[in-house]
Amino acid sequence: MSRTFRSKTVWLFLAPALASYLAFVVVPIVQSFAVSLFDWPTHAVSPTRFVGLENYARLIQDGVFWKALSHNVVLLVLSLVIQLPIAIFLAALLSGRVFGRGFFRTVYFTPMVLPTVVIALLWRQMYLPAESQGLLVQLLEWLRLPSPADGFLGDARLALLSVIVTISWRYVGFHMVLFMAGIEGIPEELYEAARIDGANAWQSFRHVTLPLLAPVIRISAVLSIVGSLKYFDLVYVMTKGGPPEHVTELTTTYMYQIGIDQQTIGYGSTVAVAGFLISMLVVVGVMGLRWHARAAVREVRE
């Protein structure tokens, strides 16, 4: 097989994916950017007036956008702080010889298999006020503990946190599976050596499992960060960014509200482009850190 033939074959197989990627990802991003420079009134067939960066000036002064972005940041930080430690803990637990290991692994992974809408409706129902059969509030009332009268999502102080709990519940299983795969890859001899040196379970976890899991942790973190910045579906179904006054608004739900509900397509595209640029910036930053870390490791080895 000649080299040119092989590279041609490679291109041939890549072409469909590349074409659809260009058509459905790259082109729309470029188009969104173009549209964000226009005023596009409702019902007009195409953008009518070029306004340059006017939409971006409006965005910078738009308090709701910054509020939404701050919610994305809260989601990002809490996802890292809640999801990853729990996932590592569960993975470590289930990697040992635990009774019913397969059962627990399946149970924790189940939320990833369920459709987002199902999860959103299920948790929304649990969070409802007592008279609407909200399970959690009813439980708290039965235990005579303080509970939010308007339900968890109806309380402006609890709404965002409640949504984040649901999101975490969903993704812990996913990260757990990643970590389990990582732990499988750690040679058994290292644990043996640690035992011979007199390490207890915590010490061998701290000094063998964690350091060798670092690459997987980084992957998990990157996935979690990107996911948090572009999160949409569960929040949209559960709260639509409300209720009311944007207490659970994310940049994506805000974009939907402006672009689709209000049909202000130009400014909606501006919000979309801003969200894209911010995600891009953060991801490039995190990847940069990763290269940096890798270079440092190489230096130490040499």
Q: Which of residues 93-152 bind another protein (CB under 8 A)?
A: 124, 127-134, 149-151
CB of 272 to another protein, least distance (A): 17
What's the burial of 56, exposed, middle or buried (CB within 10 Å: 0-12/13-18/19+)?
Answer: middle
Q: Which is nearer to another protein, 53 or 107 (CB)?
A: 53
Q: Which is nearer to another protein, 159 or 194 (CB)?
A: 159
Q: Which of residues 142-181 bind another protein (CB under 8 A)?
A: 149-151, 153-154, 156
Q: Among 216, 152, 179, which residue's Cα sits nearest to residue 94? A: 179
CB of 243 to another protein, least distance (A): 4
Number of residues lying near another protein (CB under 8 A): 34
What's the burial of 141, exposed, middle or buried (CB within 10 Å: 0-12/13-18/19+)?
Answer: middle
CB of 299 to another protein, least distance (A): 52
x/- letters, 35..74, toward another protein (CB under 8 A):
----x-xxxxx--xx-------------------------
Give yes or no for a cis peptide into 243 (omega within 30° of 0): yes
Reading the block at residue 301, the tokens are 């080895």
CB of 248 to another protein, least distance (A): 11
Q: Which of residues 228-267 bind another protein (CB under 8 A)?
A: 239-240, 242-245, 257, 261-264
Q: Among 230, 282, 240, 279, which residue's Cα sits nearest to residue 261? A: 240
Cα separation, 25 vs 45, in Å, equals 23
Q: Which is nearer to another protein, 51 or 180 (CB)?
A: 51
Cα separation, 288 vs 282, in Å, equals 10
CB of 63 to another protein, least distance (A): 13
Q: Which is nearer to another protein, 94 or 128 (CB)?
A: 128
Q: How many CB atoms lie within 10 A of CB 136?
A: 18
Q: Which residues contact 220 (CB under 8 A, 6 or more apart)?
A: 84, 87, 175, 178, 179
CB of 164 to another protein, least distance (A): 16
Q: Which is nearer to another protein, 44 or 193 (CB)?
A: 44
Cα separation, 183 vs 197, in Å, equals 20
Residues that bind another protein (CB under 8 A): 39, 41-45, 48-49, 124, 127-134, 149-151, 153-154, 156, 239-240, 242-245, 257, 261-264
